[in-house]
Amino acid sequence: MLSRQRLFWRWQPYDLPGSDAAFLRACRDNAAYHIAHCPDYAAICRHLDFAPEQLQTADDLARIPVIPTLFFKRRALFSMPQWRMAMKVTSSGTSGRFSRIGFDWGCILAEAPMVVNLGFRHHLVSPKPAHCVILGYRPHKSNHTGVTRTMFGLTHFSPPLSRTYALNLVDGSYVPDLDTVAKTLKKLESSPFPTRVIGFPSYLWFGLGRMEELGLKVRLSKGSRIILAGGWKQHYAQEVDKRILYALTEKVLGIPEENINELFGAVEHPIFYNACEKHHFHVPVYGRILIRDPDTLEPLPTGRVGLVNLISPLMAATPTLSVMTDDLGYLTPGEACGCGRKSPYLTILGRVGMTDIQTCAAGAAELLGQAEGKGEAF
């Protein structure tokens, strides 16, 4: 599937109209591949009267059978034998059911230029070595969650000097240790090298709040960054106004707003969404987003609120060409942002009440909540 590589090696990441033809071609090839290699997917397409040739214009993308993430949580679909996959990744960290998604080598080959390209454009890449503090899970061979791997991967945008984790495996289960994190941050203050704090926004919020309560203030070296991954979306109850979080970050860690990167993605749709300077997630050329009517699943016009449908021809091991999240959100035309990027941006409003769906960040938040209850946090 060269069409996929052609799409992911494109140089202009936010030129959607310019990439439409390449995107449609890659989607057609991807759908044809899954139909040929995954009998279950072929049955779904047949039942819903879909054939790859129907994809001729951007409007046709809505015709691709959309598979809810709920489906992947109940049933694993693969389009190649396991030995041909690079890895298998799961969506959930600690509890609940999770999706099992296969990653093929071609997918990894395609992701690399996307991540490097966007990493440069969003100032993530730096030749200067940095200490990494990860407000997330320490990788372990028993942990197959996408977010763990993503956070580990994110430590490589600059040469990593050290890694400190907030969630460590103790006797087979993850235990939060924000105390060590706070101590490490204090120590890193005197380091000549910058620090990168990578993690769940909710952990940053709890951690900073606690540090402020204790009167702990840290001035990290110039060039230090915060990289937030793994979901605001799971956290409506405590979702903080982002501005308050940025102000707190500056106050407690001395890291200014422009050095905060926010990322968005899903195991079923591992596209590297980066927030722009105005904190908007513009859709990059590697994916498309449709918003669908919550009552009928029909596509809605731009601006209307509905279920978020993510489309990308990235994956060949699992048919995730068009997946439906259980998030409610809406798209805004790129011009309204003011950052100069023309592609529309996604705003996520909340998650619909499907408690079947447990996410990594929700699981992590659960751990944190338990620890707080026992007075172990800090």
Partner 1 sequence: MILANGTLLPDSRRKDLIAHLEEEINVTRTGEPLDAETVIAAVDALGKRLRSGEFDALLAPFFPFISNSTHLDTLRHSWTELDTSGHSSTVLDTPGQSSTVLDAPGHSSTSLDGSGHSSTLSDLFGLVCRETLEYKLHAELGPELFGERRFSQTTARLLPLGTLLHVAPGNMPGLPVYTALEGLLTGNVNLIKLPRADKGLSLAALSLLTRQEPRIAPFLYAFDLPSGETEELRALARLADGVVTWGGDDAVTALRELAGPGCKLMEWGHRLSFAYVAGYEDRQSELSQLAGHIIETGGRLCSSCQVIFLDARRREEAEEFCREFLPYLEAAAARRPGLGAGAPASLSGHTALLERIVEGRTQGERLFRGRGCSLLFRPDEELELSPMEGNVLVKCLPREGLLAALRRKKGCLQTAGLLCPEEDRPALSDLLARAGVTRITRAGGMSAAFPGEAHDGEYPLRRYVRVVDVEK
d(CA 346, CA 310): 11
d(CA 220, CA 190): 8
Contact between 355 and partner 1 by CB under 8 A: the answer reads yes
Note the Cα 77 to chain centre separation in Å: 21
Are 199 and 229 a contacting pair, CB within 8 Å?
yes
Q: Which of 24, 44, 208, 362 binds partner 1 (CB under 8 A)?
A: 44
- C-beta of 68 vs 146, nearer to partner 1: 68
Contact between 139 and partner 1 by CB under 8 A: the answer reads no
Residue 287: both structure tokens together: 């994916």
Contact between 303 and partner 1 by CB under 8 A: the answer reads no
Beta strands in 91-129 (DSSP E): 100-104
How many helices (H) and strands (E) the chain has is answered by 10, 15
Q: Which of 175, 216, 297, 300 binds partner 1 (CB under 8 A)?
A: 297
Q: Which of 71, 109, 169, 209 binds partner 1 (CB under 8 A)?
A: 71
CB of 320 to partner 1, least distance (A): 13
- C-beta of 97 vs 279, nearer to partner 1: 97
d(CA 361, CA 233): 9
Draw the binding track, 146-185, toward partner 1 (x: CB under 8 A; -: no contact): ---------------------------x------------
- C-beta of 96 vs 160, nearer to partner 1: 96
- C-beta of 67 vs 275, nearer to partner 1: 67
Q: Which of 43, 108, 112, 244 binds partner 1 (CB under 8 A)?
A: 43
d(CA 125, CA 300): 37
Which among 200, 209, 315 is positioned nearest to 252, based on CA atoms? 209
Place of tokens 């509905």: 306
Contact between 51 and partner 1 by CB under 8 A: the answer reads no
Q: Which of 40, 257, 277, 376 binds partner 1 (CB under 8 A)?
A: 40
Residue type, 91: S
Q: Is the dihedral of CA 367, 371, 372, 374 positive or negative?
A: positive
Contact between 296 and partner 1 by CB under 8 A: the answer reads yes
Q: Which of 13, 146, 199, 306 binds partner 1 (CB under 8 A)?
A: 306
Contact between 49 and partner 1 by CB under 8 A: the answer reads no
Size of the site for partner 1 (CB under 8 A): 35
d(CA 279, CA 337): 9
Q: Which of 32, 96, 121, 339 binds partner 1 (CB under 8 A)?
A: 96
- C-beta of 301 vs 373, nearer to partner 1: 373
HEC string of 174-218 equals EEECHHHHHHHHHHHCCCCCCEEEEECHHHHHHHHHHHHHCCCCC
- Pairing of β 269-274 and β 281-282: unpaired
The 3-state DSSP class for residue 162 equals: strand
Place of tokens 């990493």: 119
Contact between 29 and partner 1 by CB under 8 A: the answer reads no
The window from 10-18, 56-64, 215-223, 351-359 that contacts partner 1 (CB under 8 A) reads: 351-359
Contact between 9 and partner 1 by CB under 8 A: the answer reads no
- C-beta of 262 vs 268, nearer to partner 1: 268
- Chain residues binding partner 1 by CB under 8 A are 40, 43-44, 47, 65-68, 70-71, 74-75, 77, 95-97, 173, 294-297, 305-307, 324, 326, 328, 349-350, 352-356, 373
